[in-house]
Amino acid sequence: MHRVDEKKRLATLTLAAMGIVYGDIGTSPLYAIKEVFGSAHHPVPITPENVLGVLSLFLWSLIIVVTLKYVVFIMRANNKGEGGIIALMTLALHDGKPGTWQQRLLVILGLFGASLFYGDGVITPAISVLSAVEGLEIITPAFEPYILHITLAILVGLFAFQRRGTSSVGALFGPVMVIWFAVLAVFGALAIMRNPQVLAAVNPLHAVHFLLGNGLLGFLALGAVVLCITGAEALYADMGHFGAKPIQYAWLGYVMPALVINYFGQGALLLADARAVENPFYLLAPEALRYPLVILATLATIIASQAVISGAFSITRQAIQLGYTPRFEVQHTSDKEIGQIYLPGINWLLLVAIVALVIEFGSSSNLAAAYGIAVTGTMLITNILAIAVAVRLWKWRPVRAVLGALPFICIDLGFFLANSVKIPDGGWFPLVFGLVIFTLLTTWKRGRELLGQRLAADSMALKPFVASLSEDGVERVPGTAVFMTTNQEAVPHALLHSLKHYKALHEQVIILSVRVFDEPYVPVAERLEVHRLEENFCQIVVQYGFKDEPDIPAALALLTEPGLAIDMMETSFFLGRETVIPKLGSDMAYWRSLLFVAMFRNAGSATAFFRIPSNRVVELGSQVVL
């Protein structure tokens, strides 16, 4: 009975993974083949040798990069089940000495990889939805003037819907994508049956001959071939939601075969009629079925976009927890699913960037030039971080780790260099976008470090201060005061200000700080670390993983220490509210100081982020010169 239940659970998770994980890579057939042979940038002539060579490149890219690299190898590098570039970075930092150049390099690589993910998060909805809607042009040219308007309306609707959460439509994602992949396979198989010679592309020699025989053009074609593996990072990033097995089963048993059959079908169509390069995906379908196919493709691209948007929310929350970005408002859209969150600030920033992108580039072909750089850049960074994980965590010899990753590095580097020639045509966008995000992340981290140093320089040690209270005869009033601080060994500035203004302290005083570990979750049993001091003072550290949901009142409700029961109606939370003033000649460049101050002023409140009742909070301000 247990085995039957386990099989049902695995089947359910596999179906769910089909909807969330494979939306991005699953919609690549909409534009990948078209970009190789019909792109305005370095189109490949349609000949039997070239078609077989390109199809062979598609097949072996899916096998080597997606299957071997991600499904077999990279998914082993999980942080207690969690995947993604942030999780991989925290694993790579394992056992390293803080402050060394190696640690700093790994952090820089991890943050830049995460920044490129945001670039991918902007381009994926734009190119996916636009390429789906462009199918209307194939049905009738009358739709051509309205393609951009329809695309923008769908994207605005998608982002407006985010605040409602994905739980209400999430159940549809899996079945829709199952139908989508089935349709891909059926249309592809019908075309292959009419022109079975394309099956010869299974032989990797066709890929080798294509690259060697076409010289520079063959190399540049890699910039479009890479479009077939966009979304490979999602397999790894979403591992924490579904586990490795459902993702692996879905890929090997259903998704990859459907994609390969469809790509081969498009190749067979091009061999039969080179004019089909206008849009080989839609022209695979009989004319009567093209309207339903446009609707199905649009649904599939919305699902693909949803997965990337949810990923952007998730990675932002992880960055907040690890101290790389200011606090944003986080809304929870489900009472049952812990991972379903909505960040209004990130949502609308993404929408503005996507709308600007669609209007600026105007077509999926133009956007394709911008797409590959972000994907291949992240893949290269993943290789380097994986080497660090293999050496530090798995205890591989460095030579073995480097040699193991070298084939993947060479392939990803080839894709990256082929895409780099498209920088003037649009490849600049994800690089610039990623650089802006990277600057914001590193500026915030450095600014917080400097702010902590300035506050520490002006603080006094906690234990001598507590010992002096009995001599000074400070009046104590009923109730509990919780002073939040980042430094457990120093007197919080808010406490000193409170004592200065009120000339009294609460009967029970808690010095509380939050510590976030570089692992996804901390067990509830280990949530609190408690140390009793004299004069009814207590130090409490609330411990979270970088994917835990911070909730201070819920954490304090776990207190079991005698005499430490917390009554929320009798408890006041005191928070410091610093006003940061930039200064020339600081330890940080003046322009970065100004940027940090702007971010600091617009950061979300600690009250909302830690779910503290706002009517129990007292904020006390101070000025800090950076």
542 phi, psi to nearest 5 deg: -95, 125
Residues 46 and 79 in one domain: yes
Of the candidate ranges 8-22, 106-120, 212-226, the one whose mean pLDDT is the lowest: 8-22
Instruction: Note whether 570 and 507 are within 8 A (CB).
Output: no
Residues 611 and 503 in one domain: yes
What's the structural domain count of the chain? 2
Q: Is 520 helix (H, G, I), strand (E, B) or coil?
A: coil
- Residue 569 above 90 pLDDT? no
pLDDT at 375 (0 to 100): 85
Q: Report yes or no on 531 lying in a domain.
A: yes
Strand partners for 530: 540
Instruction: For residues 625 and 590, give the distance between their C-alpha atoms in angstroms, rounded to a whole number.
Output: 12
Query: Tens digit of pLDDT for each residue in 587-598?
Result: 889 999 999 999
Query: Residue 453: which H helix or E strand, with range?
Result: helix 428-457
Residues 438 and 470 in one domain: no
pLDDT at 474 (0 to 100): 83
Q: Is the dihedral of CA 496, 497, 499, 500 positive or negative?
A: positive
* Burial of residue 145 (number of CB atoms within 10 Å: 0-12, 13-18, 19+): exposed
Mean pLDDT over the full length of the chain: 88
Residue range 494-516: mean pLDDT, rounded: 90
Residue written as tokens 């077939």? 228
Residue range 210-231: mean pLDDT, rounded: 92
- Residue 584 above 90 pLDDT? no
pLDDT at 148 (0 to 100): 92
**More confidently predicted of 211 and 142:** 211
Residue range 140-147: mean pLDDT, rounded: 85
Query: Residue 623: which H helix or E strand, with range?
Result: strand 617-625
* Burial of residue 216 (number of CB atoms within 10 Å: 0-12, 13-18, 19+): exposed
Among candidate residues 398, 416, 446, the one where a domain is terminated? 446
For 101-108, the CB contacts below 8 A with 24+ separation are: 106/385, 106/388, 108/442
- Residues making up the chain, counted from first to last: 626
- Residue 550 above 60 pLDDT? yes
Residue range 253-260: mean pLDDT, rounded: 96
Strand partners for 490: 461
Give 225's pLDDT tier (boundaries 50, 70, 90). very high
pLDDT at 447 (0 to 100): 92
Among candidate residues 398, 414, 446, the one where a domain is terminated? 446
Give 335's pLDDT tier (boundaries 50, 70, 90). low
Instruction: Note whether 558 and 551 are within 8 A (CB).
Output: no
Q: Report yes or no on 3 lying in a domain.
A: no
**More confidently predicted of 568 and 80:** 568
Among candidate residues 394, 412, 446, the one where a domain is terminated? 446
Residues 371 and 500 in one domain: no
Instruction: For residues 412 and 113, give the distance between their C-alpha atoms in angstroms, rounded to a whole number.
Output: 14
Give 622's pLDDT tier (boundaries 50, 70, 90). confident
- Residue 351 above 80 pLDDT? yes
> The domain spanning residue 382 has which CATH number?
1.20.1740.10
- Residue 464 above 60 pLDDT? yes
Residues 520 and 616 in one domain: yes
Calculate what percentage of the chain has a pLDDT beyond 90.
46
Highest mean pLDDT among 319-333, 408-422, 449-463: 408-422
Instruction: For residues 514 and 518, give the distance between their C-alpha atoms in angstroms, rounded to a whole number.
Output: 13
Instruction: Note whether 102 and 96 are within 8 A (CB).
Output: yes
Residue range 84-96: mean pLDDT, rounded: 84
Residues 436 and 481 in one domain: no
Residue range 514-534: mean pLDDT, rounded: 89
Q: Report yes or no on 126 lying in a domain.
A: yes
Residues 419 and 479 in one domain: no
Of the candidate ranges 116-130, 244-258, 501-515, the one whose mean pLDDT is the lowest: 116-130
Give 503's pLDDT tier (boundaries 50, 70, 90). confident
pLDDT at 416 (0 to 100): 93
Residue range 412-419: mean pLDDT, rounded: 93
Residues 392 and 511 in one domain: no
CA atoms within 13 A on the CB side of 23: 35
Read off the amino acid at residue 318. Q
Q: Report yes or no on 451 lying in a domain.
A: no
pTM: 0.85
- Residue 166 above 70 pLDDT? no
Give 167's pLDDT tier (boundaries 50, 70, 90). low
pLDDT at 332 (0 to 100): 67
Residues 428 and 470 in one domain: no
Q: Report yes or no on 32 lying in a domain.
A: yes
Residues 499 and 570 in one domain: yes
Q: Report yes or no on 534 lying in a domain.
A: yes
* Beta-strand pair 571-581/475-484: parallel
Q: Report yes or no on 7 lying in a domain.
A: no
Give 17's pLDDT tier (boundaries 50, 70, 90). confident
- Residue 511 above 80 pLDDT? yes
Per the structure, the complete domain to which residue 465 belongs is given by 460-625
Residue range 268-279: mean pLDDT, rounded: 93
Residues 439 and 474 in one domain: no
- Residue 334 above 60 pLDDT? no
Q: Report yes or no on 221 lying in a domain.
A: yes
Residues 70 and 46 in one domain: yes
Residue range 481-489: mean pLDDT, rounded: 90
